[in-house]
Amino acid sequence: MPMTALTGSRVRERRLQLGLRQADLARAAGISASYLNLIEHNRRRIGDEVLARLARALTIETGTLAAGAEGALIEDLRAAAAAGGDDQPELDRVEDLVGRFPGWARMLAAQHRRIGSLERTVNALNDRMTHDTHLSEALHEVLSAVSAVRSTAAILAETEDIAPDWRARFHANLHADSERLAVGAEALVAYLDSSDEDDETGLGAPQDEVEGWLAARGWHLPELEAGAGPAALAAEVAGLASAAARSMARDWIARAEADAAALPLMPFRAALAETDDPVRLARRFGTSVLSVFRRMATLPGAQTGLVICDGSGTLVFRKPPEGFVLPRFGAACPLWPLFDALARPMAPVEAMVEPASRTRRRFRTRAFCEPSLPGDFAGPELREAGMLIDPAPPEAAAAPARAVGTSCRICPRTPCPARREPSILIEGT
Our finding on whether 148 is near another protein (CB under 8 A) is: yes
Our finding on whether 392 is near another protein (CB under 8 A) is: no
- SS3 breakdown of the chain: % helix, strand, coil, rounded to 5? 60, 10, 30
Going by their DSSP bridges, the two strands 402-404 and 349-355 should be labelled as parallel
Q: Which of 113, 140, 171, 344 binds another protein (CB under 8 A)?
A: 140
Q: Which of 32, 121, 159, 372 binds another protein (CB under 8 A)?
A: 159
> 128 or 246: whose CB is closer to another protein?
128
Q: Which of 301, 359, 377, 379 binds another protein (CB under 8 A)?
A: 359
The residues in 315-344 that bind another protein, with binding defined as CB under 8 A, are none
Our finding on whether 403 is near another protein (CB under 8 A) is: no
Our finding on whether 104 is near another protein (CB under 8 A) is: no
Our finding on whether 177 is near another protein (CB under 8 A) is: yes
Where do runs of H (alpha helix) occur along 224-315?
234-238, 243-262, 265-274, 278-285, 289-298
Q: Which of 139, 203, 244, 262 binds another protein (CB under 8 A)?
A: 139
d(CA 368, CA 287): 14
Q: Which stretch binds another protein (CB under 8 A): 66-74, 144-152, 245-253, 402-410?
A: 144-152
Our finding on whether 154 is near another protein (CB under 8 A) is: yes
Our finding on whether 143 is near another protein (CB under 8 A) is: yes
Helix 265-274 vs helix 278-285: crossing angle, to nearest 10: 140
Our finding on whether 178 is near another protein (CB under 8 A) is: no
Strand order in the sheet with 363-372: 315-319, 305-310, 382-391, 363-372, 349-355, 402-404
Half-sphere exposure of 12 (CA within 13 A, CB side): 18
Our finding on whether 358 is near another protein (CB under 8 A) is: yes
What DSSP string describes 110-143?
HHHHHHHHHHHHHHHHHHHHHH-HHHHHHHHHHH
Contact 82, 35 (CB under 8 A): no
CB atoms within 10 A of CB 363: 21
Letter for the amino acid at 203? L
Our finding on whether 176 is near another protein (CB under 8 A) is: yes
Our finding on whether 197 is near another protein (CB under 8 A) is: no
Our finding on whether 352 is near another protein (CB under 8 A) is: no
Our finding on whether 150 is near another protein (CB under 8 A) is: yes
Our finding on whether 360 is near another protein (CB under 8 A) is: yes
Site residue total, another protein (CB under 8 A): 24
Q: How far is CA 168 from CA 21, 102, 149, 162, 243, in A?
A: 102, 80, 15, 10, 63
Our finding on whether 35 is near another protein (CB under 8 A) is: no
3 state DSSP class of 334: coil
Binding site residues, another protein, CB under 8 A: 139-140, 143-144, 146-152, 154-155, 158-159, 166, 169-170, 173, 176-177, 358-360
